[in-house]
């Protein structure tokens, strides 16, 4: 198949990407190429991909002078539209278009200009249900892919949708059955990801905590994280792929005290792929990823003491069970096969 994969524009898409959407897009694209598909990826400069890459914006195009890493929303909207204009202009070269961006609402109006199928992976959204219903009613033609059953049940239903779990390539994640004595938290550093509660967990339990990820809100970092850094609570910055695998595999457990209804949580299955159990809040799709008391521990939302209590039983978790959970349910091969079925069905219907 000739596939146009429309990727995120706010950071480069590569194996060492810092964001979950970017990492998923890269890994998925490479898997499609390995299966013999002709894939063209639309993404920012600095992206790395073995198929055809069309750069739609430079690394600093979204940043106003002196803003550091802060993204200008007006520029983000502009380049989101520019990306889809380029896709529409080239659509005759493809069998279908697959949209893999977080802010997919900026791209949907272009579906009216397409004469080939459009698949939209819904990585998330930040607008109210009423707005989502309106968007789905105006643009009913794409097929939307939800990342979890929780996501599909919670969100308004488009005319066409399917649930496909994210997946990882197990061979990319080294298994380790003899971890070190520390806990690991990694995500973008912003309030909804729960780093504050990870710090509270470390302080109350006296545990060593490693914090990693890009600072997306400097003021939040300066007030909620920086004052608590010490010899036992360490911030190691953004990590490349090999670095994050090292921290995953050597951790006693991965912490996931999320403050929002996470649609999936790629870091959860990455950690478990290394054999590392996950301790987190029962929010979003966590119940679908983690088997409580077998591959980690899930406690009620915002219950830091519950997180601390789970340490008492952490040695009861067999790390091999964590890896098997990923192998059986969240393999990249399983994910790609499911998308290929969607692609084939759409192309059959188009004939």
| Sign of torsion over alpha carbons 269, 270, 274, 279 | negative
Distance CA 76, CA 313 (A): 46
Pick 2-167+332-350's CATH classification: 3.40.50.2000, 3.30.70.520, 2.40.50.140, 3.40.640.10: 3.40.50.2000
Instruction: Find the mean pLDDT for residues 322-326.
Output: 98
What pLDDT band is residue 351 in, cutting at 50, 70 and 90? confident
Spans of all domains in the chain: 2-167+332-350, 170-329
Per-residue burial over 37-65, b if 16 or more Cβ lie within 10 Å, else e, is: bebbbbbbeebebeeebbebbeeebbbee
Question: Given the structure tokens 């990727």, which residue do they identify?
Answer: 7
Express each pLDDT in 252-273 by its tens digit. 999 999 999 999 999 999 999 9
Please give the model's pTM, rounded to 2 decimal places: 0.93
For the domain spanning 170-329, the CATH number is 3.40.50.2000
Using the predicted structure, report yes or no on whether residue 90 has a pLDDT greater than 90.
Answer: yes
Instruction: Find the mean pLDDT for residues 228-238.
Output: 97
Instruction: Find the mean pLDDT for residues 158-175.
Output: 96
220 or 64, which is more confident? Answer: 220
The secondary structure of 235-247 as a DSSP string is E--S--HHHHHHH
Tokens of 104: 């997919």
Name the residue among 289, 285, 291, 294 with its Cα closest to residue 314: 294
Question: Given the structure tokens 């520019």, which residue do they identify?
Answer: 82
Express each pLDDT in 10-48 by its tens digit. 889 999 888 889 999 999 999 999 999 999 999 999 999
Instruction: Find the mean pLDDT for residues 230-245.
Output: 96
Average pLDDT, the chain: 94
What pLDDT band is residue 66 in, cutting at 50, 70 and 90? low
pLDDT of 300: 97
Using the predicted structure, report yes or no on whether residue 240 has a pLDDT greater than 90.
Answer: yes
């Amino acid at each position: 198949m000739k596939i146009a994969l429309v990727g995120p524009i706010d950071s480069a898409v590569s194996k060492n990407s810092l964001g979950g959407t970017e990492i998923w897009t890269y890994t998925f694209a490479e898997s499609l190429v390995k299966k013999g598909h002709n894939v063209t990826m639309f993404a920012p400069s600095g992206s790395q991909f073995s198929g055809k890459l069309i750069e739609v914006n430079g690394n600093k195009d979204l940043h106003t002078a002196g803003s550091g890493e802060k993204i200008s929303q007006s520029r983000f909207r502009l380049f989101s539209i520019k990306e889809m204009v380029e896709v529409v202009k080239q659509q005759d070269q493809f069998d279908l278009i697959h949209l893999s961006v977080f802010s997919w609402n900026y791209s949907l109006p272009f579906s009216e200009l397409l004469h080939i199928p459009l698949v939209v992976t819904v990585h998330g959204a930040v607008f109210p249900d009423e707005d989502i219903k309106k968007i789905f009613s105006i643009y009913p033609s794409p097929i939307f892919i939800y990342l979890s059953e929780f996501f599909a049940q919670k969100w308004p239903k488009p005319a066409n949708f399917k649930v496909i779990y994210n997946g990882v390539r197990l061979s990319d994640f080294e298994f380790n059955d003899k971890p070190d004595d520390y806990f690991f938290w990694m995500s973008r550093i912003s309030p909804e990801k729960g780093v504050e509660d990870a710090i509270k967990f470390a302080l109350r339990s006296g545990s060593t905590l490693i914090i990693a990820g890009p600072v997306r809100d400097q003021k939040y970092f300066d007030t909620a994280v920086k004052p608590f850094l010490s010899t036992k609570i360490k911030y190691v910055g953004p990590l490349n792929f090999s670095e994050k695998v090292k921290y995953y595999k050597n951790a006693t457990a991965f912490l996931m005290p999320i403050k929002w209804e996470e649609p999936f949580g790629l870091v959860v299955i990455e950690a478990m792929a290394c054999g590392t159990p996950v301790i987190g809040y029962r929010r979003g799709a966590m119940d679908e990823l983690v088997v409580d008391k077998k591959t980690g521990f899930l406690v009620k939302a915002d219950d830091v003491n519950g997180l601390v209590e789970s340490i008492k039983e952490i040695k009861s978790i067999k790390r091999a069970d964590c890896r098997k959970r990923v192998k059986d349910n969240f393999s990249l091969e399983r994910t790609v096969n499911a998308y290929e079925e969607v692609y084939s069905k759409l192309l059959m219907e188009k004939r």
